[in-house]
Chain A
Amino acid sequence: VVKRLCAATLLCVTACATQQALAPVEPSAAASFEAGLVRKGAELAALGGRALRTPFGTIYGTNITPEAETGIGAWSEAAFRRALREGLDREGRHLYPAFPYEYYTRLTDEDVGALYAYLKTREPVRARTPPALNAANPAPLPWSGEQLFTYLRTGIEAQHAIAAGPMDPVVRNLARVAEDDVRALADYFAALLPSGPRRNAEAKPDSGGPGAAIYAGACGTCHDRGRDASSGSALELAAASALTLPTSANLVRITLEGIAPPAGEPGRSMPGFAQALTDAQVKELMHYSRNRFGGGAPPWSDVDETLRKAREAR
């Protein structure tokens, strides 16, 4: 129910902050809500809910689990009530038009309280969003408009990234539209992105150890310097965004599953290592790669958990 609700409501379109922000609150203990209220909230939440298909594409909702940073963990009941009544998020930004708050304006205070109690007692889930296309972008090297164009049009740009997963169909589509339109998109994003390098995109010297031998035998054949991305070979990992992200999720996933285009379609390909590597070996490889190619980013603390989930999902 929570997932359905998450996918359907509190659809957030960022607009200018024109209203007052409400103070954040500490995450509440589940026991601080009365059980009957939570149950009622669950029934109300079940009345909502489905993915919103619009002429502009399907809109997915934002995270309304009680996670502090990416969810509504810091929202007071007053902030939650205001979102439903006035269509504003906690910081005062408009959620309308995508969030249909006008449907909720007549909920009673009691029903709002029950929904709040229900949502605040769910398991907090940290939302994973794609890297921001603005100054917060984690790419080790700055993107130029020309590089963005190459990435969006062909799915690979030698100094940054390869398009895989949900980005794959996007690139497939952009390969078919007018070139000028893709250029316009690229120029728009380039203007939002930082222009100077913020990290060192050079690999550190090989530190040796078990991770080094795994890297050399399983990855280096394709990923080491001297390969040319346009020849169908791989990115240098020191330039790859996956190594600089705060979470290891992208690198774990791509290491296990590889990259494969849909059956019968052309596309980039990388072998997955889910069968070849044991969990201990994947972990060695993740920590080694982060240390050597992460541009000085701190070690990942989420590798064990991310790997466990990725294995379970297979």
Chain B
Amino acid sequence: MITLEVNGKAHAVQADPATPLLYVLTGELRLNGAKYGCGLGQCGACTVLVDGEPVFSCVTPITVLQDRKITTLEGLGTPQTPGPVQRAFIAEQAAQCGFCIPGMIVRAQALLGRNPAPTREEIRAHMSPNLCRCGTHMRILRAVERASREIKAAK
């Protein structure tokens, strides 16, 4: 039995220790924010935060997550009260099909958590592991910049 702390809440999980976190999030905990894209850590749709750092939940076995803080898209805000990064993605209409966007938001959150005012180059480099097949990259970049401005203004 492994205890996972997800979005501040502890969950006792029965799954095999080698099970990727993504399967536990969607299958057991009904947290469907992180998406299954490739299953190989190549696309970023499944990105979540572990101790504030972005990881691919599809290739992260739950055995390595005991006593660590996991944050998913759901931990960043709700449909009624979205968080600043989520608000910025909505304001810039950064989603087309939307499948990559949860991973994009979570990865952007990790960057802004440690660098509230990144340059465009820093944003590009940081976001590069996450892929978008619709091609809304320019809106995604603008959304991250907008989130950065709003976080700064709120301080």
Chain A residues near B (Cβ < 8 Å): 210, 212-214, 216-218, 220-222, 233, 258, 260, 263, 269-271, 275-278, 281
Q: Is residue B74 within 8 Å, beta carbon to beta carbon, of the partner chain?
A: no
Nearest Cβ in chain B — how far from A240, in angstroms?
A: 17
B interface majority secondary structure: mixed
Contacts of B125 in A (CB 8 A): 263
CA distance A214 to B64 in the complex (A): 7
CA distance A270 to B38 in the complex (A): 12
CA distance A281 to B56 in the complex (A): 16
Contacts of A278 in B (CB 8 A): 64
Contacts of B50 in A (CB 8 A): 275-276
Chain A minimum-CB-distance residue to B128: A263
Q: List 20 A-B contacts (CB under 8 A).
A: A213-B17, A213-B18, A216-B18, A217-B19, A217-B60, A217-B64, A218-B59, A218-B60, A218-B61, A218-B64, A221-B20, A221-B39, A221-B59, A258-B41, A260-B128, A271-B41, A271-B129, A276-B59, A276-B60, A277-B64
CA distance A269 to B128 in the complex (A): 12
Within 8 A of A (CB), among B103-138: 124-125, 128-129
Q: Interface range on chain B: under 10, 10 to 19, 20 to 34, or 35 or more?
A: 20 to 34
**A-B contacts besides A214-B61, A216-B18, A221-B39, 8 pairs, CB < 8 Å:** A213-B18, A217-B18, A217-B64, A269-B42, A275-B53, A275-B54, A276-B50, A278-B64
Choose among B19, B39, B64 the residue that contacts A276 (Cβ–Cβ < 8 A).
B64
Q: Is residue B144 within 8 Å, beta carbon to beta carbon, of the partner chain?
A: no
Nearest Cβ in chain A — how far from B6, in angstroms?
A: 15
Nearest Cβ in chain A — how far from B52, in angstroms?
A: 9
Chain A minimum-CB-distance residue to B42: A269
Q: Is residue B63 within 8 Å, beta carbon to beta carbon, of the partner chain?
A: yes
CA distance A47 to B55 in the complex (A): 48
CA distance A125 to B116 in the complex (A): 40
Interchain CB contact under 8 A, A276 and B63:
no
Choose among B53, B63, B124 the residue that contacts A217 (Cβ–Cβ < 8 A).
B63
Q: Is residue B62 within 8 Å, beta carbon to beta carbon, of the partner chain?
A: yes
Chain B minimum-CB-distance residue to A281: B64
Interchain CB contact under 8 A, B39 and A214:
no
Assuming the contacts A269-B42, A275-B54, A275-B55, asked whether A216 and B61 have C-beta atoms less than 8 A apart, the reply is yes
List 3 A-B pairs, minimum CB-CB distance, nearest first.
A217-B61, A271-B41, A275-B53
Nearest Cβ in chain A — how far from B53, in angstroms?
A: 4
CA distance A278 to B55 in the complex (A): 12
Interchain CB contact under 8 A, A210 and B55:
no
Q: Is residue B40 within 8 Å, beta carbon to beta carbon, of the partner chain?
A: yes
Contacts of A213 in B (CB 8 A): 16-18, 61, 63
Choose among A212, A233, A260, A271 the residue that contacts B56 (Cβ–Cβ < 8 A).
A271
Chain A minimum-CB-distance residue to B61: A217
Within 8 A of A (CB), among B18-46: 18-20, 39-42
CA distance A276 to B20 in the complex (A): 12
CA distance A217 to B16 in the complex (A): 10
CA distance A213 to B54 in the complex (A): 21
Assuming the contacts A217-B19, A281-B64, asked whether A271 and B54 have C-beta atoms less than 8 A apart, the reply is no
Contacts of A217 in B (CB 8 A): 17-20, 59-64
Of A213, A217, A221, A222, the most chain B CB neighbours within 10 A belong to A217
CA distance A214 to B62 in the complex (A): 9
Nearest Cβ in chain A — how far from B140, in angstroms?
A: 16
CA distance A270 to B40 in the complex (A): 8
Chain B minimum-CB-distance residue to A270: B41
CA distance A275 to B39 in the complex (A): 18
Nearest Cβ in chain B — how far from A226, in angstroms?
A: 14
Contacts of B60 in A (CB 8 A): 217-218, 276
Interchain CB contact under 8 A, A271 and B42:
yes
Chain B minimum-CB-distance residue to A219: B59
Contacts of A212 in B (CB 8 A): 18
CA distance A216 to B23 in the complex (A): 14
Q: Mark B71-97, 1 if CB is under 8 A from A, else 0.
A: 000000000000000000000000000
Contacts of A210 in B (CB 8 A): 63
Contacts of A281 in B (CB 8 A): 64
Interchain CB contact under 8 A, B63 and A214:
yes
Chain A minimum-CB-distance residue to B67: A278
